[in-house]
Structure formats: C-alpha cells, structure tokens
C-alpha cells in the first residue's frame, strides 16, 4: 500500500513538472471549450428557428438545448480522448525503461502490482483533472436553462467518459510497458484505440454473428448509452473488465521484464 502510494506520488509529481502533461491538458481544454461553445451556439440557433416555425405553423417538438449540447459534446470528448490518452501514457513505462529507473523500481521492496497500480491511479487522476474544468461549462448552462436541466443525464455522461477514458489509459499503459520508445508506445496505443473505434463501423457491414461480436468489443459503442443518460450495468461491466484486462496485461508485461531485459 505504501509502496503503491510512493509510486503514485512520484508519478503525479512527474506530471506536474513535465511540460508534456500541461500541453496535453491545455490542448484538450481549448478544444473542449471550442466545441462546447460551437455546439451551444448551433443548438440555440436551431431552437430559435424551431421556435419561429412553431409560431408560424403551431405544434412542433420542444427543443431541449441542454440535452442536445451535452450529448453531442460527450461524443466529441470520446474522440478527443482517443487522440490524447496515448500521449498521457506513452512515457509511463517506456521512459523508465530507457532511463534505467525501472531497475530501481524493480529492485526495491515494491511488488510489480504496486508499481502498476500506482502508475495507473496517477494517470486516472490526471484524466479527472482534465475532465473537471468541462463541468464548469455545464454548470453554467444548466443553471441558466429552463426548465430544470437533466443533472442525472450529465452524471451518466461523466461516468461514461470516465470509464472510456480509464479503459483507454489501460490500453496506453500496456503499450508503454512493452517498449523503451515513447514514440512506439504512442503509435501502438493510438492504433489500438482507432481499431476499437472502427470496430463499431465494421459491425455494420459484417454478417450477424461477427457483427454482434465486433459491436460488443467496440469500446465506443458501449459509450453511446451513457451519452443518452442510460446507465446500463452491462456497459459498466464491459468497461470494468476491459480495464481489468489492461491492468492485468501490464502487470504481466512488467513482470516479464525480469526475464527479458538486459
């Protein structure tokens, strides 16, 4: 426990002195803010046009601007995470291996599990730090919206993006542990993320048995329900098993360094 906390603390310290983490978080927040304001403007205009039509012709569906903005925004967030999480995790093991500090960790009285969990929890913390400021926009929007806004839906969406992000971090950590090169780590994890993304499309053309298998494996498909405000236990279980598998493989990979490395 103490060993894990020591590793966690060191990783957090590293994130805060490393320009890489700042750049990633800044890029993420700038893009997120841009998409948020664009989506908000778009849907307000749509609602306004819909309101005009309603005035002229009567009837028409009510236009729930906050829900639409939230749903589209969380769709965009998943794409941003797909691009940015590999950069957050690329150095986690690759850099330690290259610098020889892995030898310090692995000859200290901490277990491989403590090393991996400490590092993983630190990357999750950074993900949360990255996501938190986006809540400011929603708090503002929901506070000003009429009628009262769907807080529960927002909660479900944040849960979804947290689970998806954590799963992507698990993938990235694993690929960082198999190489000494950050560049290779980032390429491999980005490739894996993309594959999980396109599985979703593949499932639309494949035959039915394959289609459902591919669909099930697509980490992004399971995300859709969350963005609609539906928390389905099977989706939560999917992400938790995904994360567990990623962490497990990373532990095995760290363990196997003792067998491989010079």
Partner 1 sequence: MIEVKDLTKRFAEHTAVDHVSFVVNKGEILGFLGPNGAGKTTTMRILTGFLPATSGTAQVAGFDVFNDSLEVRKRIGYLPENPPLYLDMTVTDYLDFVARIKNVPAEKRRARIEDALQKTTITDKRHELIKRLSRGYKQRVGLAQALVHDPEVIILDEPTVGLDPKQIIEVRHLIKGLAGSHTIILSTHILPEVSMTCDRVVIINRGRVAAIDTPANLTTQLKGGQNVRLEVQADQNAACAAIREVPGVRRVSGEPAGGKGRVALMVEVSPGQDVRSQLAAKIVGKGWPLYELRGVNLSLEEIFLQLTTEESEHAAASSN
Q: Report the alpha-carbon distance of residue 51 to residue 63 in Å, rounded.
A: 8
With beta carbons less than 8 A apart as the criterion, state whether 50 and 160 touch.
no
With beta carbons less than 8 A apart as the criterion, state whether 147 and 64 touch.
no
Residues 240-259 within binding reach of partner 1 (CB under 8 A):
258-259
Tell me which residue of 115, 145, 129 sits closest to 22, measured CA to CA.
129
| 7 is a contact residue toward partner 1 (CB under 8 A) | yes
Single out the segment in contact with partner 1 by CB under 8 A; choices: 6-14, 26-34, 125-133, 205-213: 6-14
Q: Which is nearer to partner 1, 119 or 221 (CB)?
A: 119
Q: Which is nearer to partner 1, 6 or 29 (CB)?
A: 6
Q: Report the alpha-carbon distance of residue 153 to residue 141 in Å, rounded.
A: 14
Q: Which is nearer to partner 1, 111 or 125 (CB)?
A: 111
Binding mask 9-48 for partner 1 (x = CB under 8 A): xx--xx--xx------------------------------
| # binding residues, partner 1 (CB under 8 A) | 27
CB of 106 to partner 1, least distance (A): 6
What lies within 8 Å, CB to CB, of 241 at 6+ separation is none
| 1 is a contact residue toward partner 1 (CB under 8 A) | no
Q: Which helix (H) or strand (E) holds 6?
A: helix 2-17
Residues 54-113 within binding reach of partner 1 (CB under 8 A):
99-111
Single out the segment in contact with partner 1 by CB under 8 A; choices: 1-9, 62-70, 131-139, 236-244: 1-9
Q: How far apart, in Å, are the Cα atoms of 7 and each of 2, 15, 105, 232, 253?
A: 9, 12, 9, 34, 18
- % helix / strand / coil in the chain, to the nearest 5? 85, 0, 15
Which of 1, 2, 147, 208 binds partner 1 (CB under 8 A)? It is 2
Q: Which residues bind partner 1 (CB under 8 A)?
A: 2-3, 5-7, 9-10, 13-14, 17-18, 99-111, 258-259, 261
């Amino acid at each position: 426990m103490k060993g894990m906390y020591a590793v966690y603390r060191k990783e957090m310290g590293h994130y805060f002195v490393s320009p890489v983490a700042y750049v990633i978080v800044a890029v993420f927040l700038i893009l997120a803010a841009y998409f948020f304001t664009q989506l908000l403007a778009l849907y307000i205009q749509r609602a306004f046009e819909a309101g005009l039509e309603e005035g002229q012709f009567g009837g028409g569906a009510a236009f729930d601007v906050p829900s639409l903005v939230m749903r589209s925004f969380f769709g965009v967030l998943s794409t941003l995470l797909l691009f940015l999480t590999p950069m957050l995790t690329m150095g986690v093991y690759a850099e330690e291996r290259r610098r020889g500090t892995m030898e310090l960790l692995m000859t200290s009285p901490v277990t491989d599990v403590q090393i991996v969990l400490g590092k993983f929890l630190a990357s999750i913390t950074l993900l949360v730090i990255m996501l938190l400021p986006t809540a400011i926009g929603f708090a503002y929007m929901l506070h000003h919206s009429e009628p009262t806004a769907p807080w529960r839906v927002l909660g479900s969406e944040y849960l979804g993006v947290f689970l998806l992000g954590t799963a992507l971090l698990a993938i990235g950590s694993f690929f960082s542990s198999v190489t000494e090169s950050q560049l290779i780590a980032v390429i491999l994890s980005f490739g894996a993320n993309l594959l999980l993304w396109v599985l979703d499309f593949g499932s639309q053309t494949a035959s039915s048995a394959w289609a459902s298998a591919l669909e099930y494996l697509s980490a992004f498909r399971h995300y859709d329900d969350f963005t609609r405000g539906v928390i389905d236990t099977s989706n939560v279980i999917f992400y938790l098993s995904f994360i567990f598998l990623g962490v497990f493989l990373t532990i095995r990979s760290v363990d196997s360094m003792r067998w491989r490395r010079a």
